[in-house]
Amino acid sequence: MLFGLNNHVGLLNTMTDIITMLGIESSCDDTAAAVVQRINGKALVLSSVVVGQEILHEAYGGVVPEIAARAHAEQLDIAVEKALVQSDIKLEHVDAIAVTSGPGLIGGVVSGVMCAKGLAAGINKPLIGINHLVGHALTPRMTDTISYPYLMLLVSGGHCQFLAVLSETEFDRIGGTIDDAPGEAFDKTAKLLGLGYPGGPLVEKAAKNGDPTRFKFPRPLLDRPDCNMSFSGLKTALRRARDLLVKEKGGISYQDQSDLCASFQIAVADTLAEKANRAIDIFKKTTDSKNFAVAGGVAANTVIKKELENIAQKHNFTLLSPPLKYCTDNAAMIAWAGIERYSAGLVDDMTLAARPRWPIDHKAKPMLGSGKKGAKA
């Protein structure tokens, strides 16, 4: 146990710069809780508990919001208790409670916010609402202690954006997807090919035995000079290729399956790499920073990561990719984002509301969705 913190948190806070934060995350299909400390500017993850729901959603080939919300309601208090026990920190000794308050599946977000409110009220400690995307965007500061500014690619099942991260509250969106996110495309590909769920790891595994040149899938929007992306057409192209094979052969072989996966994967990787190349060019015009970070579940894909590394090296940039457990949804990143906001004096009260949509760059024009609920991104 670090410094015997369980009984001496108050004393140590007066001796060194220590902030202890409980984080809660429930925006999609992972129920998570974590306890994170910042000690003299550096992060220490004391615990990180993630309860996945893959087995609940596998039969549907994707996340079912109602099932996810029910599972969060059942697991949140258990996850929080485990995180506190593993960290050897008592609830009353945390400085504040940070919780994902959007964007995400509203049922799960509401469950997390209500849990955090109850805990914060019970111990009379500050409540801090965190944008889920900000959690991902600030993860490199937790894992690599990098300074602002830096270029960030958020690439996951629900999001895909290039961001200039300027501070814990300032984010300039350089580009993003105008329709589907890559992670969603991976899941749909896996479903179309009968691979199961979650799709990302299964498509990558199948692709290892495939020929990435067999199918000529499109690289959407590369003919446009900006950093925006599109992946819905890529899914359509894969479905048509599969249907043609079925029509010609009466089905698809394991080799067909692998070749389709490999061709799809390299199309996504090529698209992200070229758009990253352009994003770096734009980012370089405003700063001397040489840090390019990537986070989100899709960042775990080795082919995509390799192409991004090549682009970073081309520009003499350093590619920072947090460990997989902090790339995918987790509460440690929420706790860390809470620490950054707490340090800046930014806290919320009991009027904190769950938000299904919450663009990270509120200055930019909406790319996805509008209307009463607001833009998705």
CATH number of 2-138+329-343: 3.30.420.40
Average pLDDT over residues 341-363: 92
* Nearest C-alpha neighbor of 360 from the set 172, 228, 108, 148: 172
Does the pLDDT value for residue 11 go beyond 70?
no
pLDDT in tens, 84-105: 999 999 999 999 999 999 999 9
In angstroms, the CA 100 to CA 235 distance is 30
Would you say the CATH fold of 148-326 matches that of 2-138+329-343? Answer: yes
What is the CA angle 326-104-145, rounded to 5?
30
In angstroms, the CA 32 to CA 78 distance is 10
Give the residue carrying structure tokens 């179309």: 192
Band the pLDDT of 376: cuts 50, 70, 90. low
Give the alpha-carbon dihedral of 180, 183, 184, 187, to 10 degrees.
Answer: 150
Does the pLDDT value for residue 6 go beyond 50?
no
Band the pLDDT of 310: cuts 50, 70, 90. very high
pLDDT for the residue 1: 30
Q: Is this structure's pTM higher than 0.75?
A: yes
> Within 13 Å, how many C-alpha atoms sit on residue 282's CB side?
19
Domain 148-326 CATH (choose: 3.30.420.40, 3.30.360.10, 3.40.50.800, 3.90.550.10): 3.30.420.40
Domain coordinates of the chain in residue numbers? 2-138+329-343, 148-326
Does the pLDDT value for residue 199 go beyond 70?
yes
Length of the chain: 377
Q: How far is CA 164 from CA 51, 134, 173, 281, 309, in A?
A: 31, 12, 6, 12, 18
- What's the mean pLDDT when you consider all of the chain? 90
Band the pLDDT of 370: cuts 50, 70, 90. very low
Does the pLDDT value for residue 360 go beyond 50?
yes
